Amino acid sequence: MINRLHIIVFPIYYSSMSSAFTLNKITLYVFIIFFSFSSCLPYDAYIHIVPDQKDIKRFKHVTVKHADTCFEFHKAPNKPIFVSNWTHKSPLSYLPLEDFLKNQKCNHFMVIKNDSIVFEYNNKKLTSYEPSPIFSITKCMVSASLGVAIKQGYIKSINDLVKDYLPELNYDKNFDLLTLNHLLNQESGVKESVNNLARTNYGKIEMVLRNIKFTSKPGEKIEYVNTNYTLLGLLIERVTKKDMHEYFSENIWTKIGTCDSTVWGYDFQSHHTRSFSFFGGSTRDLAKFGRLYMNKGMWNGKEIIDSNWVKQSTSNVNGLGKNIGYNSSFYIGEKEVGDFTAIGMYRQQIYVNPKSNVVIVGIFKFNNDNLPLRWWQLMRKIAEQA
Q: Is the pLDDT reported for residue 58 higher than 60?
A: yes
User: DSSP state, 9?
Assistant: P
Mean predicted confidence (pLDDT) in 111-130: 92
**Share above pLDDT 70 across residues of the chain, in percent, rounded to a whole number:** 83
User: DSSP state, 194?
Assistant: H
Other residues' Cβ atoms within 10 Å of the Cβ of residue 256: 19
Do residues 344 and 356 touch, judged by C-beta distance below 8 A?
Answer: no
Mean predicted confidence (pLDDT) in 124-143: 91
Mean predicted confidence (pLDDT) in 87-97: 74
Entry pTM: 0.87
Mean predicted confidence (pLDDT) in 296-310: 98
**Contacts by residues 195-198 (CB-CB < 8 Å, ≥ 24 positions apart):** 195/35, 195/39, 195/41, 196/227, 196/230, 197/4, 197/5, 197/49, 197/226, 197/227, 198/35, 198/39, 198/41, 198/45, 198/46, 198/49
Q: Is the pLDDT reported for residue 21 higher than 60?
A: no
Can you spell out the DSSP letters for 244-310? Answer: HHHHHHHHTGGGTT--S--EEEEETTTTEE-TTS-EEE-HHHHHHHHHHHHTTTEETTEESS-HHHH
Domain ranges of the chain: 17-72+118-385
Topology of domain 17-72+118-385, CATH: Beta-lactamase (3.40.710)
pLDDT of residue 129: 81
Helix 25-39 / helix 194-201 crossing angle, nearest 10 deg: 80
pLDDT in tens, 167-212: 999 999 999 999 999 999 999 999 998 888 878 887 899 999 999 9
pLDDT of residue 176: 98
Q: Is the pLDDT reported for residue 86 higher than 80?
A: no
Do residues 326 and 318 touch, judged by C-beta distance below 8 A?
Answer: yes
Residue predicted with more confidence, 39 or 59: 59
